[in-house]
A and B are shown apart, each in its own frame.
Chain A
Amino acid sequence: MKQPIYINGLGVISPQKTFDVEGFLTEPIEYHENYILALDAAYKEYINPVQIRRMSRILKMTLSAAKKAMQDAGIEKPDAIIAGSGYGCIDDTEKFLLNMLDNKEMMLNPTAFMQSTHNSVAGMVALNVKCNAYNFTYVHRGFSFETSLLDAMMWMQEGKENVLIGGFDENSVNHHTVTNKIDFWKKEKVDAFDLLKTKTIGSISGEGANFMLLSSNKNEHTYGEVKDVKMCYKPNEEELLEALSKFLKKNNLEIKDIDIYLTGLNGDVTQDRIYYRSINELMKDTPVAWFKHLCGDYYTAGSFGLWVAAQICKRQEAPAILMLDGASPKKPIKNILLYNHYRNINHSFYLIQS
């Protein structure tokens, strides 16, 4: 029998009030820049002073989020730790790189190099909870978090009970400058909540540390169940629609069973076209929601989307800020289909059930 996979703990640090708050997006913050940062948490409550002094911001964010997810699920030590990140610890990478170039390769501080390694996050979490188990880091653009999720799901079929997964990426000014040249981000100022009204290319650059404790046990901590995840690499439109219909069929669902279609719409006209095609054709009777106006876009933004879906499942409500065109979800909210893609290259479907 297939082992069900439950989301039992969440720890999310994002540009919204998602950490150490009771409500679910009750006070959404609207940003007006194309570069938005996560709200810093009270990191010292999660990390001891000896460790924290050396940590970069992304390490503080991820360790706090990871610990929160475990606390939320009542788990002290998971059976595996799997993290995904598009850019890893880009700030420390740039720090060491610039130091090296500007100081002509002399007198370089090892700390930035050591922490620039992509797996420093998963390693640090393991070190912190003394977890000797499986420890992986995926770094494949818009598949980084999705591969982590799939890997966790495979392990749980093989008998691991509690697996910590996380998606994280941080913004950095230099990196923003570079990717701005290839039109990743909007050139004009934009009001985030009106992102879909813009008719220009580019999105807003966001960040976050989004951790979840997946468990094979359903209990009072459970938010919802992850039924499936599927990645599609560079599909054309036909292949994409075919993949979606196969995905639903495999899970014994039809389009009418989907109560919320949660999309990765990001306000880039060239990118959003792909979502609209499915919205207009297949999902025309399904309530549509989105989330990137809240967290910005980044390689692992799908992990924020999964947090949104998990919260909706548990609370059986979707705040209006998430719903497109004033739609309201079908109730009870049973099936949420999350579809996200990064720059029309890395496409992913997730199915979450309450």
Chain B
Amino acid sequence: MGVVSSIGMNVEENLQSLKTSKTGLCFTQFLDSIHKHELPVCEIPLDDDALAERLGLSVSDGYTRTSLLGLLAVKEALASAGISDMKSATTALISSTTVGGMRNTEVIYHELLSPNLREEYINFLNSHDLGESTERIADYFGVKDFVTTISTACSSSANAIILGARLIKHGIVDRAICGGTDTLSKFTINGFNSLMILDKEHSRPFDDSRVGLNLGEGAGYIILESEALVKKENKKILAELTGYSNTNDAFHQTASSPEGNGAFMAMSEALEMSGLSNSDISYINVHGTATPNNDVSEGRAMHRLFGDALPKFSSTKPFTGHTLAACGGIEAVYAILAIQHSLIFPSLNFKNKMNEVDIAPQTTLLENYEVNHVLSNSFGFGGNNTSIIISKA
């Protein structure tokens, strides 16, 4: 597994931040936006050149920030899985992003359109689409067997994990690198702002006073391997993916249904696949964006499914911000950390229960808590709902 986010440039740094309640919230250093002193974000405190340097690359070769973050996280993931030779097994790269090269496009858009394009931008003429960053990652590490990109808004990288599992199940590949990468951009900040769901303060998931989310950036990837490959190579297993489901709320273009029907179905189907009962779930890493709509919808769905026996749950979004396509991958890494270190991470900024549903997240770090099965939710625009279950191996 590998992760970069505003709370750390690798898994270990992320873990330390999660344990010490250190959030990535700040005002942007790198985005030239009129909202830069007004809307806080969770930004990685390195500019593109500094990120590229860590990879031995040069930005002028056309590496977008999205590619660079993805490369860093995949690099760590491959190292942690002990993979140096891509040819040792058929390998898929399934990456995801919502805005691809937009961060770079928006800065030079008028340049790109002008007849006198400056030399330094030539390599960015074909870097806008969402497949581009995936191919940069594939080429850097030499992945050739299977390469694709998913974009289903905020559930994207959880869906990448589902596809990876299914490709392995169908024998198409032995191994899949699954996750997502997204960067902060003026485009997304203004987009979410036009929907009036950004909080000027630190976001407060599941709190009655919540008004919206904080955006973040990052990348998170996990590597799935078939049982046969793991046995053959005698590999150490970090965790097992035991259930997954993707459903559609079919309620509204952006909003979730008030009863959380899609979320309820996704969680129930994932549970059913895993063969676990409700009481087996030790922890739910909720989507928990802190928008008024999401948290009620998700909360009601959890309440419906688990009743009064609701497992410990928390949203890690106040740490990382909402990283859009990356959040499912990042939170899958956090789920594995919770299992490995017997921890439940706190849901920051929670004070009072929502009026609509009588539930409260875990607000402090819980240590020495045996975590066997984590349910991780990722819900997005277009009614897209994904739940995955990660279990102790």
Contact = CB atoms under 8 A, between A and B. Distances in A.
B148 A147 contact: yes
Given A100-B190, A118-B151, A181-B125, A135 B248 contact: yes
Contacts of A98: 109
A123 B253 contact: yes
Interface string A66-88: 00000000000000010000111
B261 interface: yes
B179 to A, nearest CB: 15
Interface stretch (B66-74, B332-340, B347-355, B378-386): B378-386
Interface in B242-274: 246-254, 261-262, 265
Interface in A61-112: 81, 86-88, 96-98, 100-101, 104-106, 108-110
A309 to B, nearest CB: 22
A123 B186 contact: no
B34 to A, nearest CB: 5
A139 interface: yes
A119 B112 contact: no
Interface string B90-130: 00000000100010011001101100010000100110111
Nearest to A141: B131
A118 B130 contact: yes
A200 interface: no
Contact of B195 (A110, A136, A138): A110
B194 A110 contact: yes
B59 interface: no
Nearest to B196: A110
B384 A119 contact: yes
Interface in A260-310: 299
Interface string B129-145: 11110110011000111
A120 B382 CA distance: 6
A255 interface: no
B150 A138 contact: yes
B306 interface: no
Contacts, number: 181
B366 interface: no
Contacts of A137: 150-152
Interface residues of A, number: 60
A48 B109 CA distance: 36
Contacts of A104: 34
B197 to A, nearest CB: 10
Contacts of A126: 248, 250, 382-383
A134 B380 CA distance: 13
A12 B190 CA distance: 35
A1 interface: no
A157 interface: yes
Contact of A136 (B105, B159, B172): B159
Contacts of B381: 114, 117, 119-120, 123
Interface string B156-177: 0001000100110010100000
A129 B248 CA distance: 11
A182 interface: yes
Given A135-B247, A181-B117, A234-B144, A114 B106 contact: no
B382 A122 contact: yes
A32 interface: no
A214 interface: no
A115 B252 CA distance: 12
Contacts of B128: 178
Interface of B: 33-35, 98, 102, 105-106, 109-110, 112-113, 117, 122, 125-126, 128-132, 134-135, 138-139, 143-153, 159, 163, 166-167, 170, 172, 186-187, 190-195, 246-254, 261-262, 265, 380-384
5 contacts: A81-B248, A113-B194, A116-B191, A157-B170, A231-B148
6 closest A-B pairs by CB: A123-B382, A113-B191, A141-B131, A140-B149, A118-B151, A110-B194
Given A122-B152, A132-B249, A137-B150, 16 more contacts: A97-B109, A101-B106, A105-B186, A114-B195, A120-B381, A123-B381, A132-B265, A135-B382, A136-B246, A139-B129, A140-B148, A177-B113, A178-B112, A178-B113, A182-B126, A234-B139
